[in-house]
Amino acid sequence: MLVVVAATSLFVTSVVSYAYRSLKPPPPKVCGKPNGPSVTSPRIRLSDGRHLSYRERGAPKDMAKYKVILVHGFDSSKDIYLPMSQEMMERLGVYILTFDRAGYGESDPNPERSVKSEAFDIQELADQMQLGSKFYVIGVSIGTYAIWACLKYIPHRLAGVSLVVPVINFWWPSFPAKLANEAYKKQPKRDQWKLSIAHHAPGLVYWWMTQKWFPYCSIMQRHPILFNKRDVETINNMSQVPMPNEHEIRQQGVHESLHRDIIVHFGKWEFDPMELENPFANNESSVYLWHGHEDKLVPFELQRYVVKKLPWIRYHEVSDGGHLMIHETGLCIAIFRELLLGEAPTAST
């Protein structure tokens, strides 16, 4: 009898302990802390004590005509590859500031990360770097949740905005249920699961993304299903470019970098982007949105719906474009020239 009780309690203890271990992410290895990676790049200290690591490129800040903060996407960093030479950036008169979003690279994790907190990280970065009262912002892929938040919370600070292949959230209230549902059903099954868990049960995201029983997420596994023909060509081109810091992207742990991105982006937002107002009501600047008709990650049907609701956004749909357009020379330059110079892109892009 006693043996049975002991065995049962041992079994229960093991199950609970397994569940606990597999649900709870390990603490991040924070940069600059005793067990963490070392800090190798410049950082600012935010008002809540967190550090943000940044990188500057292009024209020197004091000489630059245009100051741009560019926000990286999923599994990326301040070292995001931009196919523009130093000379080209100087000719354009552009200074580009990139930073590791919270939890990525050498920026401290923010367990309180939200759509809103990312906008205020950007504002504090701009102020500490003395970019002036207004600056340009460009967001790429999932990094655009920070840009929607800038439009919501700090519109008066923006000199111009470009959203590049912005990831949508199927649960934004303005989407008609039927449209959102149809698009959702077209996602690979594993990604439907991931999205649903992120939205309804964020506490299970760590377990889902680290379990070995089911295929868990196409993007983490860099699955070819996500890329169209032009993307594959871009990936081949990029494989020629040395990216010495790529190993640093996830160095503090995948939970506070990658998983937190999924939880925040596909969670419940404090506002609906499709109800935002034009920050440039006097036509002093513009908001642009670039999307690929063949983007395998973000259905163009939903993107078209977003811009239909926000007619002040100038929309470009690249007919054979995929998800990696910021890394293509012609498109990257067109995106910058339009944002900074108001120059309409040519047909060849």
Ligand X SMILES: *[C@@H]1O[C@H](CO)[C@@H](O)[C@H](O)[C@H]1NC(C)=O
Residue number with CB closer to ligand X (105 or 321)? 321
Dist. CA 147–CA 153, nearest whole Å: 10
If one asks whether residue 132 binds ligand X (CB under 6 A), the answer comes out as: no
| Contact letters for ligand X, residues 232-251 (x by CB under 6 A) | -xx--x--------------
Dist. CA 104–CA 330, nearest whole Å: 28
If one asks whether residue 342 binds ligand X (CB under 6 A), the answer comes out as: yes
**Binding residues for ligand X restricted to 35-74, rule: CB under 6 A:** none
| Min dist. Cβ of residue 270 to ligand X (A) | 30
Dist. CA 67–CA 155, nearest whole Å: 16
If one asks whether residue 278 binds ligand X (CB under 6 A), the answer comes out as: no
The H or E element that residue 241 is part of is none
| Min dist. Cβ of residue 303 to ligand X (A) | 20
| Min dist. Cβ of residue 234 to ligand X (A) | 4
- Asked if residue 98 lies in contact with residue 70, where contact means CB atoms within 8 angstroms, the answer is yes
If one asks whether residue 230 binds ligand X (CB under 6 A), the answer comes out as: yes
If one asks whether residue 294 binds ligand X (CB under 6 A), the answer comes out as: no
- In the list 100, 108, 294, 328, the residue contacting ligand X (rule: CB under 6 A) is 328
Distance from the Cα of residue 282 to its chain's centroid: 29
| Coil, strand or helix at 94 | strand
Query: What's the N-to-C CA distance of the chain in angstroms?
Result: 77
If one asks whether residue 348 binds ligand X (CB under 6 A), the answer comes out as: no
The H or E element that residue 156 is part of is none
Dist. CA 292–CA 57, nearest whole Å: 27
| Min dist. Cβ of residue 62 to ligand X (A) | 28
Interface ranges with ligand X (CB under 6 A): 230, 233-234, 237, 283, 328, 342
